[in-house]
Amino acid sequence: MFRQEAIEIIRKAITEEGILASAQQKDNYARVWARDSMMAGYAGILIHDEEILTGLERSILTLAKHQAENGQIPSNVVNGKASYGTHVGRTDATAWWIVTACEYLRITSDDALKSSLKKKIYQALSCLKTWEYNQRGLVYSPLGGNWADEYVTSGYTLYDNVLRYWALKNVSEAYNDPELKTVSENTKNLIQQNFCKNDSNVARYHETAYAKASAKPFFWASLNANGYDERFDLAGNALALLLDFEIDMQDFSEFLRDMSNKFKHWMLPVFYPVIFPGDDDWRLLENNYSYSFKNQPYHFHNGGSWPIFLGWLCLGLKKKGIKEIPEKIITQYETLMNEKGEHFREFYSTDKLLPLGTEQLCFSASGYILMSL
């Protein structure tokens, strides 16, 4: 219903430097953001849109040009100036760039591009390796160190580590690297064994914390020195499904249905449960922002609903053979856009279903395209 409109929004955001975060091209969104441009480009790969693919290649090259000495890919670039993060760096920017650069190389026949990017891709992988810190296989993200930069998750996060696995897997395939293939398989196994309860007799990253953690029908959000954050991270779980991690799909689907019943709609929250004033985590939220505080309950990262990650969830569920829930999600999203008259806003509040944040966001347009596949 809205697919062509979504495609046009991404196309309108393409500049000489690459795909900007929003077709409106204003404020902080008039930049080539690594995760935004890569996800929009990934959507372009899946629908074979040549115009978006041109923008993706420009984005890949712009970000590569500003790669830091340690291999880190910028969080964003504007007018030839790179930012690697404000309060902290962004772990997922480097991983998304590797993942999508390799996905793009998979569909092109440009051997010169593949050759020229190889050193930079391996440097970026090396940077992720240094972020293990303890050399035990999982990358460590500081508070505010990924897309949910004003939220409370930190440490060995599910989302960043699943992304890092995807990066290793894609590079091993793009450059036929058997050593990296082994590393990627070991990384996947490490995540599988440490982010959900299972009966396998293996050494855990944090034995004490693992023993105390509760069994959930989804992968836990993160692990830190002080234990597990057992909340639901929709983005991390969506990518885990897409990359074929093992999970009981009947239990997971039932959890999504229960959450939908609780909220009385299918615009599911990106993190759950919601954090309220007085909760232990509220103090981590209230000062963690750059311009204004957005994380009131049911808003933004704090229980807001983001179409981009609902899109990844739909893609992951379909990969696992679940079709009913993706149909409910896209129907809900289309209904809201029709009713509210606001298309492709950044996020929705999950209490009142208000369309909020930036308009004509490539993130949300990309999410709709992923839902529609």
The answer to whether residues 188 and 162 touch, using CB atoms and an 8 Å cutoff, is no
| 249-264 per-position pLDDT tens digit | 999 999 999 999 999 9
Cis peptide before 273 (omega within 30 of 0): yes
Q: How far, in whole angstroms, is CA 199 from its chain's centroid?
A: 29
231's tokens: 């909340």
Which residues of the chain have a pLDDT value below 70? none
Per-residue pLDDT at 25 = 76
- DSSP run (H or E) holding 302: none
Per-residue pLDDT at 147 = 97
Per-residue pLDDT at 200 = 87
Tell me how far apart the alpha carbons of residues 268 and 259 are, in angstroms, rounded to a whole number: 7
Per-residue pLDDT at 109 = 87
Strand partners, 348: 305, 355
Tell me how far apart the alpha carbons of residues 191 and 137 are, in angstroms, rounded to a whole number: 9
The answer to whether residues 16 and 359 touch, using CB atoms and an 8 Å cutoff, is no
| Beta-carbon contacts of residue 150 (< 8 Å; ≥ 6 apart) | 144, 285, 288, 289, 290, 294, 295, 300, 301
Tell me how far apart the alpha carbons of residues 278 and 341 are, in angstroms, rounded to a whole number: 36
Q: How many CA atoms lie within 13 A of 266 on its CB side?
A: 20
Q: How many CA atoms lie within 13 A of 103 on its CB side?
A: 21
321 Ramachandran zone, left/alpha/beta (phi>0; psi -120 to 50): left
| 284-313 per-position pLDDT tens digit | 999 899 889 999 999 999 999 999 999 999
Q: In a 10 Å sphere around its CB, with 0-12 CB exposed, 13-18 middle and 19+ buried, how is residue 360 labelled? A: buried
Per-residue pLDDT at 247 = 97
| Beta-carbon contacts of residue 113 (< 8 Å; ≥ 6 apart) | 57, 105
Tell me how far apart the alpha carbons of residues 349 and 90 are, in angstroms, rounded to a whole number: 25
